[in-house]
Structure 1
Amino acid sequence: MRSGNPALKPSTFLDLGTGALVGSPDRTMTLNGTVHRTAILLILLAGAAIWPWTRFFANPETMNPLPFLVAGGLGGFIVAMVTIFKKSWAPYTAPVYAVLEGLFIGTISAVFEARYPGIVIQAVGLTFGTLAALLMAYRSGLIRATENFKLGIVAATGAIALLYLVNIVARLLGFSGLGFIHESGTIGILFSLFVVGIAALNLVLDFDFIEQGVEQRAPKYMEWYGAFGLLVTLVWLYLEMLRLLSKLSRR
């Protein structure tokens, strides 16, 4: 099994010490349980996002978004790394991750909304519409996560991550970076469309990985871990939707 999502790797459902599947028959991962945990995380994320959103629009001239962006973005990254390396902590760290990402998402959404009115509701609608469409396509068998499909998506995801990393390092060193990532010209929009497509297809890999975990009788806490992994992809997809829509608005 492969997944472009770093939270969901081939070894996720294996006992790290023996390489054997873990989990007793009465305490194993279920699909319904994972769905319920995902809903809980989404509610926590949305609830946390409301705070910086309302503060921003209540006092747009005085509210400083930077603390929320740093606390949410950096804090969420740290908690995500802890969760990836300590999967058994997921019932506790996944909700914390959702709240921290909510602070980040709420702040950056408010900034985009102030500049491009109406963009947030469009991005939210497109994100969940994509989730629903791909879930139906996956469940109906229209899209199958074959090994070649997985390999292609993982490779594309890694290439995107490398491009973003190079761009960040270049900017930190005082260079202009990779301009096409941010520009609203044809190349910039095509790049964003490509990234949105890859982020969306990562959802298919996540569905497949969670289904494999259920079939392999992963331990109960993996419901939280599976929900966490899915949330990571949804956050990425939403942010890329915002980026794409903002480019289209600038045109």
Structure 2
Amino acid sequence: MQQNNPVFSRLRKNPDAMAYGAEAASIRGIILKTIILFVIAIGTGILALSFADQNPNLYIGLVMFSGIIGFISIIVAMSSIRLAPVFSLIYAMSEGLFLVLISVIYMEAFNYTGYNIVLLAVLITAAIFFGMLVLYSTKLIVVTQGFRRFMLSFGFMMLSVVLFVSIASIFDGGQMAYMLFGNPDSPIVLFLTLVFVMYGAFMLTLHFDNAAQIADQGLDKRYEWVAAMGLMVAIVYIYYQVLRLLAIILSRRD
């Protein structure tokens, strides 16, 4: 199991990784901290929404700000176990801000369709999470070294494409970005969004496996925050991609 997980192998080499008599990480602790992060995210989002409603012009700025802070928090928390608890909470607050504001933008944009796009996205995300949990728990999906390498390589390829398109958009006025990610009538956009959703779903199994190994190997209890944040990152990603997918489908219906 240890050899199948390069992230876990790196953690084992950290002198602060093992509990050494201190309280060790557990699945129950990971679940509790995941719940804590989501409660903080929802609370922060609601507070931010009440503030943003008084200043609608700040919506886009706050969304971008929260995304940047969330990205920085992930890097810091994954790099330093000592800072992981603090930056996990910062990540939860920033993503709560991002999720609520982006959800309001989508809801207002598609309110005319008669569908509650946010509620549908929440239900589908929950179904994906519990469905993948069942598949992982029953060993119908086994996280092997090859599977992990494929997922990480595919994720790197996706990130490279997004960065390339972002840079190219500076010179072509955003035409390539619109063609690949923005045009709701394009079958390419629909296909890529489906791929992004499926990728997020399978990434959940990697986070389940990380959580299981952290608990099984007796790592320091602070690693519960790392595992909880990993699960939250995957869920937030899936929710956003599902939201985009629903928006594309509803746009094509019109």
> Counterpart of 2:98 in 1: which secondary structure?
helix
Deviation at 1:11, TM superposition (A): 4.0
More deviation, 66-75/191-200: 66-75
Distance 2:44 2:10 in 1: 28
Residue 231 (structure 1) aligned with residue 229 (structure 2): no
The match for 2:200 is: 199
Tell me if the contact between 1:51 and 1:106 (Cα under 8 Å) persists in the aligned partners: no
The match for 1:177 is: 176
Aligned counterparts, 1:79-90, within 5 A: 79-90=73-84
Residue 131 (structure 1) aligned with residue 125 (structure 2): no
TM, length-normalised to structure 1: 0.88
Distance 1:212 1:127 in 2: 24
Residues 1:44 and 1:89: Cα distance change in structure 2 (over 3 Å): same
Distance 2:228 2:20 in 1: 20
Deviation at 1:67, TM superposition (A): 2.9
Q: More helix per residue: 1 or 2?
A: 2
Tell me if the contact between 1:123 and 1:241 (Cα under 8 Å) persists in the aligned partners: yes
Distance 2:213 2:238 in 1: 23
Deviation at 1:54, TM superposition (A): 4.3
The match for 1:36 is: 32
The match for 1:165 is: 163
Tell me if the contact between 1:15 and 1:22 (Cα under 8 Å) persists in the aligned partners: no
Q: How many residues align?
A: 243
Aligned counterparts, 1:46-195, within 5 A: 46-55=42-51, 58=53, 62-117=56-111, 118-175=116-173, 176-178=175-177, 179-184=179-184, 185-195=186-196
Distance 1:2 1:50 in 2: 40
> Counterpart of 2:82 in 1: which secondary structure?
helix
Residues 1:12 and 1:89: Cα distance change in structure 2 (over 3 Å): farther
Residues 1:100 and 1:2: Cα distance change in structure 2 (over 3 Å): farther
1:110-138 Cα distance to aligned partner (Å, 9 max, x none) = 11110013111111111111111111111
Deviation at 1:87, TM superposition (A): 2.3
More deviation, 135-144/200-209: 135-144
1:90-147 Cα distance to aligned partner (Å, 9 max, x none) = 1111011100111111111111110013111111111111111111111111111122
More deviation, 93-102/177-186: 177-186
> Counterpart of 1:64 in 2: which secondary structure?
helix
Deviation at 1:70, TM superposition (A): 2.7
Deviation at 1:166, TM superposition (A): 1.4
Deviation at 1:63, TM superposition (A): 4.4
Residues 1:70 and 1:190: Cα distance change in structure 2 (over 3 Å): closer
Q: What amino acid sits opposite 2:192 in the alignment?
A: F
Tell me if the contact between 2:77 and 2:85 (Cα under 8 Å) persists in the aligned partners: no
TM, length-normalised to structure 2: 0.87
Q: What amino acid sits opposite 1:104 in the alignment?
A: F
Residue 27 (structure 1) aligned with residue 23 (structure 2): yes
Q: What amino acid sits opposite 1:92 in the alignment?
A: V
Q: What amino acid sits opposite 1:220 in the alignment?
A: K
Deviation at 1:246, TM superposition (A): 0.9
1:29-54 Cα distance to aligned partner (Å, 9 max, x none) = 10100000001001111111223444
Deviation at 1:177, TM superposition (A): 2.6
Q: What amino acid sits opposite 2:118 in the alignment?
A: V
> Counterpart of 1:65 in 2: which secondary structure?
helix
1:195-228 Cα distance to aligned partner (Å, 9 max, x none) = 1001110000110111111111111100011101
Q: Which runs of 5+ in 1 are unaligned?
A: none
What is the RMSD computed on CA atoms of the aligned residues? 2.1
Q: What amino acid sits opposite 1:16 in the alignment?
A: N
Tell me if the contact between 1:72 and 1:103 (Cα under 8 Å) persists in the aligned partners: yes
Residues 1:91 and 1:21: Cα distance change in structure 2 (over 3 Å): closer
Runs of 4+ in 1 over 4 A off after TM superposition: none
Identity of aligned residues (%): 24
